[in-house]
Structure 1
Amino acid sequence: MVYQYTKMPRSLDDEENTMTERPGTAAPPADNFLAYLRAFGPGIVVALSWVGTGDLIDNSVAGGNYGYALLWVLPLSLVFRFVFVNALGKYPLYNVQQDPSIVRGIARTHPAFGWLMLVSFVLYTHILLAFTLSGVGVALEGLFGGLPTFWWAVIGALSVFAVTLKGAYRLIERIFKVILALMVLTFVVGIALVGINWGELAKGFAFELPPQQGLFDSGLVASSLVLATLGSMANLFYPEFLREKGWTTPAHRRVQQYDLLFGTVVVLFLGVAVWAIGAEVLFGKQGVSEAGDIASALGTAVGPVGPYIFYLGLLGAAWTTVAGSLFALAKMVVEALHVVRPARAERFAGTRAADPAYRWVIVWGLLAVVWSLPHAPGFVALVVVSHVLTSPFLLLIVFALIVMLNREDIMGRYTNSWKENAGLGLVAVFVAVAAVQGIGKAVGELFS
C-alpha cells in the first residue's frame, strides 16, 4: 500500500500555522535503527511529562521503606501504561474520519464528552500545576538558595510561559531532549557515587512482597503504584504530541510504537535510578518523606554534591512536567472548545495556538503558582477535586476508547483485535479500581 504525504513545512512550527482540519504529515523515517532514533520525540516529551516531583519523592521513599523488594512494580505498571497509551496513539493514525486529535474521536462517541472534556481539562490544568510548580520552586531553592520557594516558583513559571506561549512543539521537543540527557547523566553520577548492590537490585524484579511489612501493607503499596500510573490523565497527552509531530497516518505506526517504547524505557530508567538511590541511602531511616530530607540524606551519604544531584533531578522532572503538561492541556482545551463551538474552529482554521483561548489556558495554569505562597491554604481541597475529577473521567475515557476503536464508521478496517480489546479490558478494570480508590481517598481527606 502506498501512502501520500503532504510536503513537509520548513519547520514543525510552520506546520502549526498552516494546517487546516488535519496537519501536514511527516514522512516516516527509513526502516533502520538510527533513522528511528533520530525521529523519536513524542515519547520523550510524554515520558518527561509523566515523571514529576511526586514520582521522584515517592520512588525515593518507597526505596527507603522497602529497599528493592517492590521494585518489580515499576515495570509492571509501565507495561499496563504502554498498552493503554499505545491504544490511545492508534486513533490519530488510523481513524477514517480524518480526526487529527483523539479529543474529537472521544467526542464522536457521545456529544456530552465535548463539554465534559472542556470542563475537566480546564480544571485539571490548574490543579496539576498547583502541585508541580511548587516542585520547581523547591528544586531551584535547593540549588541556588537566596530566595523563598515561592519566588523561585514564579521564576520557573515565567520560564515555562516563555517556552509554551507560542505553542511551538519543535522547541518543546528540543528542550526536553537536552533535559533528558542531563537527567540521565545526573542519575548515572548519583548511582556511581552511592554505589548500587546490583544483586539486590536484580532480586527486586522477582515479584516478591517484603515479609517484614506484612502482606497487606506491601500489597497495598504495590497496587497503589500501579493504579497511580494508569489513573493519570497525563496518559491522554501522547496523541496530542503525535499530532504536533505530524505522525498522523498508518505508515507512522511502527515509529510511533518504537517511540512510545523508548519513552517507556526512559520512565523505567529514571524510576529505577531514583528507587535504587533511595534504597541505598534511605533504607532503614525513619521520618524521611520530603525533598529536603532526601537531599540531606544523600548529602550525608556522598558528600556536598549529594543534594545538588537530587535537586537537579527534581528540577528536570518538575519543570518538564509543568511545561509538557501545560502545552498538551492547553491544546486539548482549545480542541474541546472547537468541538463544542464549531464556528470557533472555522474562525481559526484549525490553528489552535492562534486561538486566544490557548494563551488564556497557559496563564490560567501558571497562576497556580499562588499555591506556593507560604501561607496559602493547604492542598486538601485540590487533592479532593483531583481525585473526584480525574478518576471517574478516565474510566469513562477508557470505555469510550474501547467503543471508539471497535466502530467501523470511525476506524474502518483498523478496528481492534480481540487481543487489543482484552488488553484494554484489563486496563479498564485497573482504572475502575483506581476510580473507587481515588474517590474513597478524597472523601476520607475531606472529612478528616
Structure 2
Amino acid sequence: MMKKFFKNIGPGPLVAAAFIGPGTVTVCTLAGVNFGYALLWAMVLSVFATMVLQEMAARLGIVSQKGLSEVIREEIKNPITRGLAIILILSAIVVGNAAYEAGNISGGALGIQTIFGNPKIAIGNSDFALLPIIIGAIAFVILYIGNYKVLEKTLVSLVILMSLAFLTTAIITKPNLLEIFKGMVVPKISEKSVLTIIGLIGTTVVPYNLFLHASLAKTKWREQSDLHHARKDTIIAVVLGGIVSMCIIVSASAIPSQNISNAADLAKGLEPLFGINAKYFLSIGLFAAGITSAITAPLAAAYVASGCLGWKTNLKSARFRAVWIFILGLGVLFSSMGFKSIEIIKFAQIANGLLLPVIAGFLLWIVNKSSVLGTYKNSKLQNILGILILIITIFLGVKGILSVFKVFQ
C-alpha cells in the first residue's frame, strides 16, 4: 500500500518545496509574531487558490505534453502580444529567480548558522561565507545529475524533513487548538495586517510554480488516465505545504517579543521558552526550506527559458543546464558575499506582481480551449473558482506593486 502511494507521488511535493522557501518562512514568522493566529485564514485561502491553479497547470502539462511557456508561445498568435508576453515571463521568472536565489541559499545557510555558526574563507582580499558555497554545491550536484527520479526523491525527502521539523516545533509550543481553528475559519483584516495578508498569499500562489508544475507533470505522467494521480498528488502536497506554513505561524505566535525579523531570530527566541530542541527543529526546517527552493528556483527558470525560446526541455541539454547554472551561480556568489541588490529585487517583485494575474488569466483561457485539452477542459465550477482567484491575483498584483514603490521611495 505504502509502496504504491510513493510510486504515485509526482511533482506535487516539488511545488510545495518551491513555495515554502525562506521568504515564506519569514512572512509566516512575522504574521505569527505580530498577529498571533488571526491570519491563519489567509493561509487557508492561499492553499485553496494554489490547489485550483496548480491542478489546471498539471492537467495542461499531462494532456498537451507541453510546458506552460511552450503553450503560451504557440497559442498567442499576434507576434507583438507574444513577444511582450515572453519578455514579461522571462523578466519575472528568469531575472526574478536569479534575484531571489541568493535569498534561498542565504535562508538555508541561516538555519545551519543558528546551530554551527558562520565559518568564512578568505579568497584574496575578500571573505566569503562557506555555508552558501556548500549549499550551492549540493544543489548543483542534484541538478547536474539530470535524472527526474533522483530530483523527485531528494526533494520529497527534504519536504518530509521540513514538514516534520516545523510540525514538531509547533507542537513543542503547546498551542491552543480552539484558537487555531478560529483563526483558520474567521477572517480578520485590519489596516496593519493588509500587507502581511498580501505577503502570505503572494508567497504561496507563486507564478513560477505554474510553469514548473506543467513541465514536471508531463515528465512524470504521459497518459491522460493518470490525471487522477496528478490531482491527488497536487491536493496532498499543497495542503501539506499549507500545514507547514501554518505551523510556522503557530510557532511564532508563542513568542512574546516583537524584536523578531526572520526565522533565525525566531529559533533564538524559542530556545529560552521551550528548550534547545525547539531551536534545533526550527533551524533544520529553515535549512530544508532554503535548499529545496535553491534547487527548484533555477530548475523553474530553465524550464521557462527553454519553453519561451523554443529549446528542448531536456534536463541534460547544454542550454537547459546553462540557465540553471547561471542562476545558481549568481545566488551562491551574492549569498556568500552578503550582497543584496535592492534594485534587482524591486524589479523582480514588480514583474511578478504583473505576471501573476497575466499567467492566471492565460491559464484560465487555455484550459477552456477544446483544441488544447479536448474533453479535459475546465468545468463550470472550475471556471467560477478560477475567475474568483483571478480577481484576487489582480488585487494582489496591484497592491504588491504599489507597496514596492512605497517601500523603495
Same fold (TM over 0.5): yes
Are the counterparts in 2 of residues 106 and 397 from structure 1 also a CA contact under 8 Å? no
Segment of structure 1 superposing worse, 134-143 or 157-166: 134-143
1:82 offset after TM fit, Å?
0.9
Aligned residue in 2 for 1:16: none
Query: How far did residue 394 of structure 1 move?
Result: 2.5
Bigger Rg over Cα? 1
1:175 aligns with 2:137: no
1:72 aligns with 2:41: yes
Q: How does 1:152-163 map to 2 (within 5 A)?
A: 152-163=131-142
Shift of residue 126, structure 1, vs aligned partner: 0.8
Q: CA deviation at 1:116?
A: 4.5
2:201 — aligned with what? Answer: 226
CA gap 1:114/1:224 in 2 versus in 1, 3 angstroms: closer
Give the letter aligned to residue 92 of structure 1: G
Q: Measure, in 2, the Cα distance between the counterparts of 1:136 and 1:121.
A: 21
Instruction: Provide the rounded CA distance (Å) in 1 between the counterparts of 2:187 and 2:66.
Output: 43
Could you say which residue in structure 2 is the equivalent of 1:14?
none
Select the residue among 109, 116, 120 that pairs with 1:137.
Answer: 109
Q: Secondary structure at the match of 2:193?
A: helix
In structure 1, the residue matched to 2:26 is 57
Which whole-Å CA distance do the structure 2 matches of 1:199 and 1:155 have between them?
Answer: 42
Q: Give the TM-score of the pair, scaled to structure 1.
A: 0.81
Distance 1:414 1:185, change over 3 A: closer
Return the match for 1:319 from 291, 298, 301.
291
Aligned with residue 415 of structure 1, among 350, 371, 377: 377
- Residues 169-208 of structure 1: pairs in structure 2 closer than 5 A: 169-208=148-187
User: Contact 1:334–1:355 (CA<8 Å) still a contact in 2?
Assistant: no
Deviations 1:80-105 (A, max 9, x none): 1111111112212333xxx4322211
Q: What amino acid does structure 2 have at the position aligned with 1:396? A: V
Per-residue deviation, residues 249-303 of structure 1 (Å, max 9, x unmatched) = 32111111000011012112211211111112x1x32221123321111111122
Equivalence for 2:353: 391
Aligned residue runs from structure 1 range 245-394, under 5 A: 245=220, 247-280=221-254, 282=255, 284-338=256-310, 345=311, 350=312, 352-366=314-328, 367-373=330-336, 376=339, 378-394=340-356
Q: CA deviation at 1:335?
A: 2.6
User: Given that residues 104 and 290 in structure 2 are in contact (C-alpha distance below 8 angstroms), is that contact kept between their aligned partners in structure 1?
Assistant: yes
Q: Residues 313 and 364 (structure 1 numbering): CA distance in 2 closer, same or farther, change over 3 Å?
A: same
Q: Paired residue for 1:100?
A: 66
Q: Identity of paired residues, percent?
A: 21
1:43 and 2:7 correspond? no
Contact 1:104 1:335 in 2 (8 A): yes
Question: Aligned-pair RMSD on alpha carbons?
Answer: 2.3
More deviation, 414-423/257-266: 414-423
CA contact (8 A) 1:44 1:176 kept: yes
Distance 1:207 1:258 in 2: 27
Instruction: Go from structure 1 to structure 2 and tell me whether the alpha carbon gap of 1:375 and 1:276 turns closer, same or farther (over 3 Å shift).
Output: closer
Aligned-partner Cα distance in 2 for 1:122–1:201: 38
1:426 & 1:264 partners in 2: Cα distance?
19
Q: Is the 8 A contact 1:127 1:386 kept in 2?
A: yes
- CA offset at residue 318 of structure 1? 0.7
Query: Within 1, Cα distance between the matches of 2:138 and 2:209?
Result: 21
1:365 deviation in Å? 0.9
Residue number in structure 1 paired with 2:60 = 91
When the two structures are aligned, how many residues end up with a matched partner?
395
2-side partners of 1:121 and 1:55: how far apart? Answer: 17
Question: Taking structure 2 as the reference length, what is the TM-score of the superposition?
Answer: 0.89
Code of the aligned partner of 2:276: P
Give 1:168's aligned amino acid: N
1:287 is paired with a residue whose SS is: coil
Gaps in structure 1 of 5+ consecutive residues = 1-31, 339-344
